[in-house]
Amino acid sequence: MMTCKDVLQRLSDIVDGEAPLLTRWSFYIHIAMCKNCRKYFQQFRDIHEATQHVEPEDLNEEFFDIMNSVLQSKPDSSSEK
Amino acid sequence: MKDELALLQKLKAGENNAYQEVLRLYGSMLLGYAKRMVGSKDNAEEVVQEAIVSIFASIDRFEGQCSIRSWLFRIVHHKAVDYLRKNSRFVKLTPRDDETMEEMFDHKGFWSNPPNVWKHDLEERLNAKQMLELVQTKMDSLPHNYKEIILLREVYKLDTEEVCNTLNITPVHARVMLHRARQALYRAVDDHLQQTGQGAATS
């Protein structure tokens, strides 16, 4: 039987789908019976889902131009060979 | 994988269009990652420029043991950490993270301080956009190593192997760090909701 502490320690593996089958069973049985863990899991999952929707930044044109000029100033190794 | 190999060969041959291809494929994510690590766009541009120069210098030593993506992230990671250390802004995690976990449970492993339950209408009042902004703000306030592993896994969708290659850590270490980072983020959001009256102690 999992304790509440065990449940908390396995949350990451559960949301990543990396927990073994037996662990998942024990986890969800505990969650079904324990109101505190159920609420914590739900809130933990909400945050996890939000982090997955954090948008990566877009590369702006100005930076792309700067990087292209860095590339242009790179020694051309292919011509040296 | 075949495309990666071809791209790597072109990079090693010093073809400019290969570097442009790298920028097109990964430039945006490297800049975004650096910005979140160092905190400002100007500094992030400096970090990524240094990283690109470093890529020129080290391309001959890269043998394709890991994906190009994780190799690029690793170089930007090193440059960002160097930048933060140089500016005395590198924040390490504190032992309190583990202590907090211990305080939450009694000696039998059951809740000694039950979790705060966010108000039932939270989802209605805090719409998805606001929740996202809150999580993003709290993520940015985490110690750098916690913020970084969440960024790599959740935002840039690197798999465990790529995260390990980027940070030069073992899969077990990555798992433990990710777990602690997520718990720290949970606590940061929870603290904010309690302080702003949007959470309540459990009954």
Q: Encode chain B (203 residues) as per-residue pLDDT tens digits.
A: 567 778 888 888 878 788 888 888 888 888 889 998 888 888 888 898 888 888 878 888 887 788 888 889 999 999 999 988 888 666 665 555 555 677 888 888 999 988 888 865 555 555 677 888 899 999 999 988 899 999 999 999 999 999 999 999 999 999 999 999 999 999 999 999 888 877 665 54
Suggest the residue from A11, A14, A42, A46 to mutate for an interface test with chain B (most B CBs closer than 10 A): A46
Decide if B17 touches A, using CB distance below 8 A.
no
Distances (CA, A) of B130 to A52, B94, B186, B201: 14, 29, 16, 22
Decide: B66 and B167 in contact? Cβ < 8 Å: no
- Residue A15 corresponds to which tokens in the numbers above? 């949301």
How many CB atoms neighbour CB B182 within 10 A? 23
Confidence of residue A5 (pLDDT cuts 50, 70, 90): very high
Query: What single-letter DSSP state applies at residue B91?
Result: P
Burial of B169 (0-12, 13-18, 19+ CB in 10 A): middle
Q: Rounded CA gap, B88 and B97, in Å?
A: 22
* Triad B3, B6, B7: Cα angle to 5°: 85
Higher pLDDT, A75 or A5: A5
**What ipTM score was computed for the predicted complex, to two decimals?**
0.82
Tell me the residues of chain A between 49 and 78 that have a Cβ less than 8 Å away from chain B: 50-59, 63-64, 66-68, 70-72, 74-78
Which residues are within 8 A (CB) of B97 and not within 5 positions of it... i.e. 6 or more apart? B180, B183, B184
pLDDT at B97: 58
- pLDDT confidence of residue B96: 55
Test mutation, B111, B134, B146, B150, chain A, max A CBs within 10 A: B111
Q: Between A35-52 and B171-195, two packed helices, what is the crossing angle to 10 degrees?
A: 100
d(CA B87, CA B77): 15
* Mean pLDDT (whole number) for A32-42: 95
**CA dihedral over B122, B124, B128, B130, signed as positive or negative:** negative
Encode burial over A57-78: b for 16+ CB neighbours within 10 A, e otherwise: bebeeebbeebeebbeeeeeee
